[in-house]
Amino acid sequence: MQLVYKGKTKDVYSLENGNYLLKFKDDVTGENGVFDPGANSVGLSIEGVGRAGLELSQFFFEKIHQAGISTHFVNANLDEQTMEVKPAKVFGKGLEVICRQKAVGSFFRRYGDYIEEASDLPQYVEFTIKDDDRQDPPITKEGLVVLNILSAEQVDRTIELTRQITTIVSDELKAHGLDLYDIKFEFGTLKDSDEVVLIDEISGGNMRVYKDGQYIEPLKLHELLFKN
């Protein structure tokens, strides 16, 4: 097994069977020591956050598979903090897809003149290009096609999958008395295929979850889901 990439919150190793191993770290994105799922840099380390993120990812990937939706997920090893995934190609140099059920975060910062904070949104889907030098610029559906990052069909499929997966995650959280305000995904295509699949992780670091209007930190989210 060989290290092929050191990421902000995960390292990636190649396996002899052709798959990859994602090693979850205890680093989370944020700024000035405050966790922010929308931030672009690693802001702080929280002990146990890697394992918690992996357990949440495993849990949600399995729910998504049960719903008949393909992903890159193969299996997880909680003690090693690793997740085995199929080889996948990201769109362009990486694309983030955000699904918003409530107006918070950067959506509210941008459009606060037109909407009250935490108002309902109809699973509003946004795209941002992963580009640290350019602060992850937002891009429209048409822009993705113009820049040859996705085909028009892949854009539509990505939006459809985003909403389906958001509903699965949201319903699961709701069963625990929790509200999913927004969630961020990455999609790609599996090797030798054009099919759009969910890749990356599905953890507390990728979503904003609230309980009775109070934001729930990633580790607390893990505790509420698995330790009750």
Cα separation, 209 vs 152, in Å, equals: 31
| Least distance (Å) between residue 20 CB and a second copy | 24
Q: How distant, in Å, are the alpha carbons of 41, 156, 221 from that of 58?
A: 24, 26, 14
Q: Interface with a second copy includes 227 (CB under 8 A)? A: no
Cα separation, 141 vs 95, in Å, equals: 12
Cα separation, 15 vs 35, in Å, equals: 32
Q: Interface with a second copy includes 155 (CB under 8 A)? A: no
Q: Interface with a second copy includes 143 (CB under 8 A)? A: yes
- Contacting a second copy within 60-99 (CB under 8 A): 92-93
Pick the closer one to a second copy by CB: 48 or 112.
112
Q: Interface with a second copy includes 146 (CB under 8 A)? A: yes
How many whole angstroms from its chain centre is CA 14? 21
Count Cα neighbours of 222 within 13 Å in the Cβ-side half-sphere.
Answer: 18
Question: What is the DSSP-derived secondary structure letter of residue 142?
Answer: H
Residues near 202 by beta carbon (within 8 Å), at least 6 away in sequence: 56, 57, 60, 61, 64, 165, 169, 183, 185
Q: Which range touches a second copy (CB under 8 A), out of 23-31, 134-142, 204-212, 220-228?
A: 134-142
Q: Interface with a second copy includes 116 (CB under 8 A)? A: no
Q: Which range touches a second copy (CB under 8 A), out of 20-28, 59-67, 118-126, 162-170?
A: 118-126
Pick the closer one to a second copy by CB: 111 or 226.
111
Q: Which range touches a second copy (CB under 8 A), out of 34-42, 68-76, 144-152, 169-177?
A: 144-152
**Helix 218-226 vs helix 49-66: angle between axes, to the nearest 10 degrees?**
60
Residues in the chain: 228
Pick the closer one to a second copy by CB: 80 or 117.
117
Q: Which range touches a second copy (CB under 8 A), out of 34-42, 111-119, 165-173, 182-190?
A: 111-119
Among 6, 65, 89, 109, binds a second copy (CB under 8 A): 109
Question: For residues 107 and 100, is the Cβ–Cβ distance under 8 A?
Answer: yes
Q: Interface with a second copy includes 2 (CB under 8 A)? A: no
Pick the closer one to a second copy by CB: 126 or 179.
126
Q: Which phi and psi angles does 151 have, rounded to 5°?
A: -80, 165
Contacting residues toward a second copy, per CB under 8 A: 92-93, 109-115, 121-122, 124-126, 129, 131, 133-134, 137-143, 146-149
